[in-house]
Amino acid sequence: MDFVTLMTLKLTANEIGTDQFGNRYYEERRARAGKPPRRYVRYNGIAEASKVPADWHGWLHHTEATPPPVGGYDKHVWQQEHQPNVTGTTHAYRPDGHMLKGGKRKPATGDYEPWNPA
């Protein structure tokens, strides 16, 4: 984030909170006439929208009126922890046979029959 943007946030917005990834959330001090105040996220590191957890996503998009509680909302047993998009990183899923995973697939099992137009 550049210096001008940082100063603009400091002068025109209030810091509302921080998530577990270190992203900081802000809300405009003065709303525009007839509109809700703008809400901003200042990413910790690379600006990647998938780094915003679901708890904060609702507040950021005006679905929730209040920010999430400090510890986050209660989770169900079946819910997993939020993970940002890992496509293009070393943590991305690569199936067997992928070039970056050795490039060798298991041999075909013989159950495939190609279509033959007779």
Q: Considering the domain boundaries, does residue 40 fall inside one?
A: yes
For residue 25, count other CB atoms closer than 10 A to its CB.
21
Q: Considering the domain boundaries, does residue 66 fall inside one?
A: yes
Q: Which domain holds residue 28?
A: 3-73
Q: Considering the domain boundaries, does residue 52 fall inside one?
A: yes
Look up residue 11 and give its two tokens: 């002068």
**pTM for the whole structure:** 0.75
Which pLDDT score is estimated for 2?
79
Total domains, the chain: 1
- Say how far apart CA 18 and CA 31 lie, in whole Å: 22
Which pLDDT score is estimated for 36?
93
- Please state the length of the chain: 118
Beta pairing partners, 39:
27
Look up residue 102 and give its two tokens: 């050795």
Which pLDDT score is estimated for 107?
78
Q: Considering the domain boundaries, does residue 89 fall inside one?
A: no
Which pLDDT score is estimated for 16?
95
Rg of the Cα atoms in the chain: 23
Q: Considering the domain boundaries, does residue 114 fall inside one?
A: no
- Say how far apart CA 57 and CA 64 lie, in whole Å: 9
Which pLDDT score is estimated for 1?
58
Amino acid identity of 115? W
8 A C-beta contact, residue 23 and residue 15 = no
Which pLDDT score is estimated for 56?
95
Q: Considering the domain boundaries, does residue 48 fall inside one?
A: yes
8 A C-beta contact, residue 55 and residue 72 = yes
Please report, in tens digits, the pLDDT of each residue of the chain (118 residues total).
578 888 988 999 999 999 989 999 999 999 889 999 999 999 998 888 999 999 999 999 999 999 999 888 899 999 988 888 988 888 888 888 888 888 888 777 778 788 889 7
Look up residue 9 and give its two tokens: 């946030």
8 A C-beta contact, residue 76 and residue 58 = no
Q: Considering the domain boundaries, does residue 104 fall inside one?
A: no
